[in-house]
Amino acid sequence: MPYPASLRTFLASLLALTLVACGDDSAPSDDADAGAQPDSGASDASLPDASEPVDDPLFVLHSAVQNSEGRTNYFTAVRSLGEVAEIDYTSSIELPGRARLYAEPGIGFFAIGDGEDTSVTRYTLREDGTFEEGERLSFQPFGVTAMGAQAVLFVSPTRAYYKDPGQAQIIVWNPTAMEVETVIELPADLIREGRVTGFSAWASRPGEAYFAVGWTTMEYDRVDAGSALVRIDTTTNAFTVMNDARCRDLNKVGVVGDALYFFSGVINGFGHAVYPDDGGQQDCMLRVMPGQNVFDPSWVGTISSALEENEIGTVIAVTGDGRAWAQVVDTDVAPSTPGSTYGEWYAAGWRWVSLDLATVGDVVRIEGEPGAYSGFTVVDGTRFFVSQTEADYSETTLLDLSGGAPAPGITFPGFALDLARAR
């Protein structure tokens, strides 16, 4: 049932503050990485394709409960996302403060980042859904001051990358030995005075990993023009940085075959609506084609042609069937006068749509109000889920939007922060 406008405004403002701390590195709207595939190019055993179905998948859910004494995080093994079931925390890992989940299927373990001491701890997931705590590795000696969401890319059981936009560096570490191997120092000019430097979600192919760089105002209401593409050779750790002036605020990714797609973020659309001269642009996407390692110079994408004139869309994820899933805002409803805040912008007038990425056509508008402003999404093969949280944040249900009408799945106490397939 839709919440009153005043309550939605309050919730969106509160959520925007929450997502600054718990979202991706680049923006308060960011949530679970979607579409990024594991990289099998390192010398160790390769990882399976996360888009391929497996007989017995296993997920790790990161959720939290907030009260007057602070936040309690729960990490819980889940076997099915779409099954209508109540999840409890009897067998969960329970941690206070600001924690992060780092996982990929096929490596045999996952990691939890501790925001209090900027460390990662390895955990083994047993067949019965319980956990075994392993060794801890601190990133504090390398100047890391906060653990980013979806900041880790596992390319093998013995090689992982942690992206740190605050210092424009990549920490290369061995998650089996729990040792740092080296630090990749990126160009210092990726950090701009008076701006938040954002690194996009990871996108990877065998032997190489990518992310985009963008810049947002400290108020999260405008984004700078242009972007940069960082490529890392996951065998040698050699890297390149290429600037591109065409799109800004690239922070979501999608992988279709061997083509890598990068999509502009929600703050880009916000800036475009409120400050059209310099705050943002109509949604924008770039791609790296198979066999290439730079943005395709002949192609710039947008979904604006598939939307109504008064709508602005932001691609959040791509499912395995090549469908792009986008948050769409009605600019006749969302405030667009100078001085509007991100929380106000995200409070009302939102819906979900899906469309064929290859043709930017075949638009499907999701029925009802599944809560675009909830901010949490997850891809499971060709299924796309969003979270719907009670007004008091006491309970959350995952909704499968893939059938055109929201279908409820698992329900759990508190609110969702992340979810990843561990097997």
Q: What are phi and psi of 200, to 5 degrees?
A: -70, 180
* CA dist list (Å): 242 to 228, 245, 293: 5, 10, 10
pLDDT, tens only, 182-230: 999 999 999 999 999 999 999 999 999 999 999 999 999 999 999 999 9
Decide if 122 contacts 139 (C-beta within 8 A): no
Amino acid sitting at position 26: S
Looking up tokens 């990289």, which residue turns up? 39
The pLDDT, as a whole number, for residue 260 is: 98
Looking up tokens 């006491």, which residue turns up? 394
- List the end-to-end C-alpha distance of the chain, in Å, as a whole number: 35
pLDDT tens digit at each of 423 positions of the chain: 333 333 333 333 333 323 322 334 443 433 333 222 222 222 223 334 444 444 578 899 999 999 888 999 999 999 999 999 999 999 999 999 999 999 998 888 999 999 999 999 999 988 787 899 999 999 999 999 999 999 999 999 999 999 999 999 999 999 999 999 999 999 999 999 999 999 999 999 999 999 999 999 999 999 999 999 999 999 999 999 999 999 999 999 999 999 999 999 999 999 999 999 899 999 999 999 999 999 999 999 999 999 999 999 999 999 999 999 999 999 999 988 999 888 888 888 899 999 999 999 889 999 877 665 555 788 988 999 999 988 888 999 999 999 878 999 999 999 999 999 988
Question: Taking Cα atoms as reference points, which of 201, 196, 159, 152 lies closest to residue 180?
Answer: 159
The pLDDT, as a whole number, for residue 68 is: 87
For the whole model, what pTM was predicted? 0.87
Question: Taking Cα atoms as reference points, which of 92, 30, 23, 107 lies closest to residue 60?
Answer: 92
Strand partners for 231: 210, 240
Amino acid sitting at position 397: T
The pLDDT, as a whole number, for residue 423 is: 83
The pLDDT, as a whole number, for residue 372 is: 56
The pLDDT, as a whole number, for residue 128 is: 80
Q: Which CATH number is associated with domain 5-421? A: 2.130.10.10
Strand partners for 217: 195
Can you tell me the distance from the alpha carbon of 255 to that of 87, in angstroms, rounded to the nearest whole number? 31
